[in-house]
Structure 1
Amino acid sequence: MLFEYSVVTLTRRELLKTFLGAPLALAACERSAPRAFPEGEIVGANWQLGHVLREGRTFEVAADKWQRVRVAIVGAGVAGLAAAWQLKRKGMNDFVVLELEKEAGGTSRSGEGSPVGYPWGAHYLPVPFRENTELIELLDEMSLAEGRSGEGDLIIKEQYLCREPEERVFFKGRWYPGLYLHVGESEADKRELAAFEEKMNAWVNWRDSRGRRAFVVPAALGSDDAEVAELDRISFGEWLRREGFTSERLFWYCDYACRDDYGLKLEETSAWAGLFYFCSRVRKSGEESQPFITFPEGNGRFVRHMAERVRENLRPSHAVVSIVPGDGGAEVICLADGELRGFRCDKVIFASPVFTAPFVIRGFSEDRPFDASAFHSNSWFVANLHMKDRPRPRFARDFPLAWDNVLYESPSLGYVNATHQKGIDYGPAVWTYYYPMCHEADGRTKLFNYDWRELAEVALTDIGRAHPEIRELTTRIDIMRWGHAMISPRTGFIWGGERQKATQPYRNIHFAHTDLSGIALFEEAFFHGLRAAAEVSRM
């Protein structure tokens, strides 16, 4: 990230009011100050590099620090790893993958702990449709598949599919099944939910003149018909109102979907993206969405597999500070182990967030192929709570602990139980708490103004509304601040034109990132990595 931050000091009440709202802050502070507080630290992303990039320095690499390779891949997130994985499969080995951090994976990285590993970001992958052949090849390579159905659909081994119960929601002191809150719903709420589902089914069935779906994963295979593109002109909230919906529960449900997948509120999210969330992973109208493949460590399992396949090509802790494109190739300069190193290559796959391109690629701003400032990202913080035991149910009739546990009255997304998939239902656990900074103006700057203890206080207080004993049970809480966690599909961005321009090569540089889809999904990053690999393979 390319900004300066300074830590501010707030009272506990001010802090909780900022993140969780005045009512909870008041209630929490009326109780005696909590005595138990676990250990922990801020971990993860190296944001200090932004200062170096922002200064626009020139870099001189010693003659003996240059290396010649055919392809340099900048970034070892899912897109960069997918590109490397594909090049290796196609028999090309003359490439390097340059990664800023000590570990590959980007927002799909994971941590190791006891009794299980845990995610630091993305934590599931829906079973792909049979048409997504290359992603299925990855899953086959990982031995996750059991076979194919009579129609040719992929069958995943049961132990890798999300275990029941999958979801629950906490509302006014009780836990209920699912994400949509049915308890206490009115007849009008029921009618609106049914009408909403009918609208979604209609879009699932929709096809353009070429037989393409309106919404599908990867998004590049979907329709660009005017009827579909027009949805990007309004917000998802406006679309709901135009369709006559007024149910508070339905609006909450759709707002949660936007916060969950996009880190945006309902009124900020493109209607195209809102409908994509509900329609893109449903094979036929009336069917459920594709089941989830998940592991305790989330998508870190996929990252580790691809990284292992290209281990000899992977260069962690190599911060790319300059790319100088030329007529016959490009020069890529890195900071590694306190010294400058250079790679002369024929092609570059730029698999880093698109907004960084003007800061790294020399000459980009003077002859820009697209407007990188149009690519807005959002900020999150993720907390992993290591617990010596899990809370006991407060009421015998409460719905039991699930994989995904949502707090209805919270601006957070709640927590994922990393131990759930292993069937470990008693004893120590790891819970992963997610908080998107979409409720605050200038959320990125504010996020980096808070230190570890303040963010840990937010997570513990928020979870404490459902589990009052959480502080006594938590032995450690580590936090990762994602300044640019994911691309924001705001109104007008998906079909605004800049995203489409960025998929085109620029002076021997090929862009590959989930940003290019406008939605931050594993499948989208994987698709763009493979697309870029195919482009450079044809050179």
Structure 2
Amino acid sequence: MPIRPHFTRREILTAFLGLPAALAACRSHPATPTFSGSIVGMSDTIGHRIRDGLRVQPTADQWRRVRVVIVGAGIAGLTAAWQLQKAGCDDFVVLELERDPGGTARSGVSTVGSYPWGAHYLPVPHQENTELVAFLEEMGVVEGRASDGEPVVAEQYLCRDPQERVFYRGRWYEGLYLYAGASTDDLAQLHAFDAEVNRWVAWRDTRGRRAFALPLATCSDDAEVTALDTITMSEWLNRHGWHSPRLRWFINYACRDDYGLTLEQTSAWAGLLYFASRIRHPGDTAQPFITWPEGNGRFVAYLHDKMRAQVRLGLAAVDIIPDTNDPPQQVDVIAMDSATQTAVGFHAEAVIFAAPQFFARHLIQPYREHPPSHLGAFEYGSWLVANLFLRDRPANRGFPLAWDNVIYDSPSLGYVANTHQRGLDHGPTILTYYYPLCEADSRTTRKKLLGMDWESCADVVLTDLRRPHLDMRALVERLDIMRWGHAMIQPRPGFIWSAARHRASVPFRHIHFAHTDLSGVALFEEAFAHGVRAARAVLAGRPELGHAV
């Protein structure tokens, strides 16, 4: 049910943006938008029907045999299919309940250009991430190797300058750390934090493994490292005596950006991963970003184009039934076409479950009857994402429009300018706005978000963007909203190195699991690695290879 009938406009804006922003909005501009838009994507209706016990039975003529069924056409599922195809196996089908592939990496296109609905960049991987580097070479993104073996990315795929700016007290400043007005103590704490990150970059265990690397399967499990997962990032900062508001804002932004959590909620291990995994050698700058106007939707399009015939969009898996033989011989998968409501079935030798873990308890028959305890450990954050289609650029005070544009006093992450990477600095543009809902109770937060109508969501977005751009409402021609109820896994303290996360990746009766939530962090590198791993285990016929350590 929409949230608007139960709450006033001021109450909604206060909940999302704080009372001062709400009061200013209610005094200064009307709530009713003068442009069009809609809530797009995310088939929560069919998802809720599955959650509530939807069961269908295909007729005898609607069954077919297939070697592998992949459930989910996000990055992990598409990567698994790509890996199967590379090995010469085309006998697979990918089931996706949405009408578009990609999951949280999906994108859209308009007459102005393309734009992301979620993930929008990839840091250049280190050479040790061999599979991902090879994939980028196949795409033509990596055009060679440096003398030390590190991948060289073609310049047109690297984020162009200026990359980032922050809005503070009426003016835009370059970068994300707010140097303007920083005290000597602020800068000393920033430098001390950088030095500690570099200490971890240099750190190696007795086996030569880094403390923080991608994919996570290559990280050290030394006790000194894993102990960081027992405290929050805020507690870790406190132990170092770092209380600078600017430093804590900067690190808090990083936690919200990658994990949808505040530094008071994020595992210190995950917080340090954000910084240390992106630096090759101590003293180096962080790896540059690979990006396109559509963000990681470019990866989705590339993978989808390679296996378009095997990807069944709008076909939702509703029941996964492994046989009871020992050893098991096959897995039956029943799916329903969301448009026609007709059921189809697959007799598969193996299943790659490339959907989030919260679906497993509803789809896998034995899990419904006896849910594994580890499923309860997975917590997911909700995000509000909007794409604003503007007839012209908003006015700027201070540093000019960048790729990433952050508002210091906002609970949102600001916006990405999607025409920036195309070198278009004037005229119409598309801005992608991101708001992670970081409340402590993720279930209540999810319900609140999914209960909001388009008008309420649009009002939150425009009220927030009015802080730096008084002319924003007048420039909007269309505003579309995506409500991600289960946007990403949350790396709260104790989860990354938990037995629950470890158990979730163990294959179950020819069902192999592949999704970024198995890593505890929602990163492209992790989804890709899990897809490769699961596909290889299926091809080898060795369940133990499907276990992500």
TM-score by length of 1: 0.97
**Pairing partner for 1:492 from 491, 494, 512:** 494
Q: Are 1:333 and 1:341, in contact at CA under 8 Å, matched by a contact in 2?
A: yes
3-state SS of 2:317 partner: strand
Equivalent position of 1:382 in the other structure: 385
In the alignment, the residues of structure 1 paired with residue 477 and residue 233 of structure 2 have an alpha-carbon distance, to the nearest angstrom, of: 41
In the alignment, the residues of structure 1 paired with residue 351 and residue 31 of structure 2 have an alpha-carbon distance, to the nearest angstrom, of: 53
Q: Deviations over 1:85-125 (max 9, x none)?
A: 00000000100000000111000000001321000000001
In the alignment, the residues of structure 1 paired with residue 540 and residue 4 of structure 2 have an alpha-carbon distance, to the nearest angstrom, of: 49
Q: Deviations over 1:46-92 (max 9, x none)?
A: 01123322333443221000010000000000000000000000000
Code of the aligned partner of 1:95: F
Equivalent position of 1:172 in the other structure: 169
In the alignment, the residues of structure 2 paired with residue 455 and residue 81 of structure 1 have an alpha-carbon distance, to the nearest angstrom, of: 31
Q: Deviations over 1:458-502 (max 9, x none)?
A: 111111110110011010000000000000001111111111111
**Pairing partner for 1:105 from 102, 106, 122:** 102
Q: State the 1:508 CA deviation.
A: 0.7
Code of the aligned partner of 2:451: N
In the alignment, the residues of structure 2 paired with residue 5 and residue 132 of structure 1 have an alpha-carbon distance, to the nearest angstrom, of: 45
Alignment of 1:14-93 (within 5 A): 14-33=11-30, 37-93=34-90
Within the alignment, does 1:124 sit opposite 2:121 as a pair?
yes
How many residue pairs get matched?
533
In the alignment, the residues of structure 2 paired with residue 5 and residue 445 of structure 1 have an alpha-carbon distance, to the nearest angstrom, of: 10
In the alignment, the residues of structure 2 paired with residue 484 and residue 139 of structure 1 have an alpha-carbon distance, to the nearest angstrom, of: 28
Code of the aligned partner of 1:425: D
Percentage identity across paired residues of the two chains: 55
Equivalent position of 2:246 in the other structure: 249
Q: State the 1:145 CA deviation.
A: 2.0
**Pairing partner for 2:511 from 509, 512, 524:** 509
Give the gaps of 5 or more residues in structure 2.
542-549
Q: Deviations over 1:332-386 (max 9, x none)?
A: 0001131111000010000000111011000114455551121111000100000
In the alignment, the residues of structure 1 paired with residue 466 and residue 4 of structure 2 have an alpha-carbon distance, to the nearest angstrom, of: 25
Q: Are 1:263 and 1:436, in contact at CA under 8 Å, matched by a contact in 2?
A: yes
Code of the aligned partner of 2:177: Y
TM-score by length of 2: 0.95
Equivalent position of 1:231 in the other structure: 228
Q: Are 1:411 and 1:439, in contact at CA under 8 Å, matched by a contact in 2?
A: no
Equivalent position of 1:518 in the other structure: 520
Equivalent position of 1:332 in the other structure: 333
Equivalent position of 2:465 in the other structure: 463
Code of the aligned partner of 1:167: E
Equivalent position of 1:400 in the other structure: 400
Equivalent position of 2:345 in the other structure: 342
Q: Are 1:370 and 1:501, in contact at CA under 8 Å, matched by a contact in 2?
A: no
Within the alignment, does 1:288 sit opposite 2:271 as a pair?
no
Code of the aligned partner of 1:42: I
**Pairing partner for 2:149 from 148, 152, 156:** 152
Q: Deviations over 1:293-336 (max 9, x none)?
A: 00000000000000111111111111110000112110000011
Code of the aligned partner of 2:431: W
Large movers: runs of 4+ above 3 Å: 4-9, 365-370
Equivalent position of 2:483 in the other structure: 481
Give the gaps of 5 or more residues in structure 1.
none
Q: Are 1:5 and 1:445, in contact at CA under 8 Å, matched by a contact in 2?
A: no
3-state SS of 2:66 partner: strand
Code of the aligned partner of 1:151: D
Q: Deviations over 1:511-539 (max 9, x none)?
A: 00000110000110000000000000012
Code of the aligned partner of 1:334: A
Q: Are 1:7 and 1:448, in contact at CA under 8 Å, matched by a contact in 2?
A: no
Q: Deviations over 1:364-413 (max 9, x none)?
A: 1445555112111100010000000001223xxx1110000000000000
Equivalent position of 1:138 in the other structure: 135
Within the alignment, does 1:314 sit opposite 2:315 as a pair?
no
Q: Are 2:172 and 2:396, in contact at CA under 8 Å, matched by a contact in 1?
A: no
Q: Deviations over 1:1-51 (max 9, x none)?
A: xxx887644322212111100111112222243675321000000011233
Alignment of 1:390-429 (within 5 A): 390-394=393-397, 398-429=398-429
In the alignment, the residues of structure 2 paired with residue 57 and residue 415 of structure 1 have an alpha-carbon distance, to the nearest angstrom, of: 38
**Pairing partner for 1:183 from 180, 183, 207:** 180
In the alignment, the residues of structure 2 paired with residue 219 and residue 513 of structure 1 have an alpha-carbon distance, to the nearest angstrom, of: 13
Within the alignment, does 1:279 sit opposite 2:279 as a pair?
no
Q: Are 2:56 and 2:336, in contact at CA under 8 Å, matched by a contact in 1?
A: no
In the alignment, the residues of structure 1 paired with residue 471 and residue 32 of structure 2 have an alpha-carbon distance, to the nearest angstrom, of: 12
Equivalent position of 1:323 in the other structure: 320
3-state SS of 1:51 partner: helix
In the alignment, the residues of structure 1 paired with residue 271 and residue 33 of structure 2 have an alpha-carbon distance, to the nearest angstrom, of: 41
In the alignment, the residues of structure 1 paired with residue 80 and residue 304 of structure 2 have an alpha-carbon distance, to the nearest angstrom, of: 11
Q: State the 1:439 CA deviation.
A: 3.7
Within the alignment, does 1:352 sit opposite 2:355 as a pair?
yes
Code of the aligned partner of 1:513: H
Q: Deviations over 1:166-194 (max 9, x none)?
A: 00000010000110111111111111001
In the alignment, the residues of structure 2 paired with residue 356 and residue 363 of structure 1 have an alpha-carbon distance, to the nearest angstrom, of: 13
Q: State which drifts further: 9-18 or 414-423.
A: 9-18
In the alignment, the residues of structure 2 paired with residue 49 and residue 481 of structure 1 have an alpha-carbon distance, to the nearest angstrom, of: 15
Code of the aligned partner of 2:454: W
Code of the aligned partner of 2:218: L
Q: State the 1:146 CA deviation.
A: 2.2
In the alignment, the residues of structure 1 paired with residue 313 and residue 192 of structure 2 have an alpha-carbon distance, to the nearest angstrom, of: 50
Equivalent position of 1:163 in the other structure: 160
Q: Are 1:322 and 1:332, in contact at CA under 8 Å, matched by a contact in 2?
A: yes
In the alignment, the residues of structure 2 paired with residue 439 and residue 29 of structure 1 have an alpha-carbon distance, to the nearest angstrom, of: 24
3-state SS of 2:238 partner: helix
In the alignment, the residues of structure 1 paired with residue 285 and residue 351 of structure 2 have an alpha-carbon distance, to the nearest angstrom, of: 41
Code of the aligned partner of 1:427: G
3-state SS of 1:48 partner: helix
Within the alignment, does 1:264 sit opposite 2:261 as a pair?
yes
**Pairing partner for 1:11 from 8, 13, 20:** 8
Q: Are 2:185 and 2:244, in contact at CA under 8 Å, matched by a contact in 1?
A: yes
In the alignment, the residues of structure 2 paired with residue 384 and residue 28 of structure 1 have an alpha-carbon distance, to the nearest angstrom, of: 21
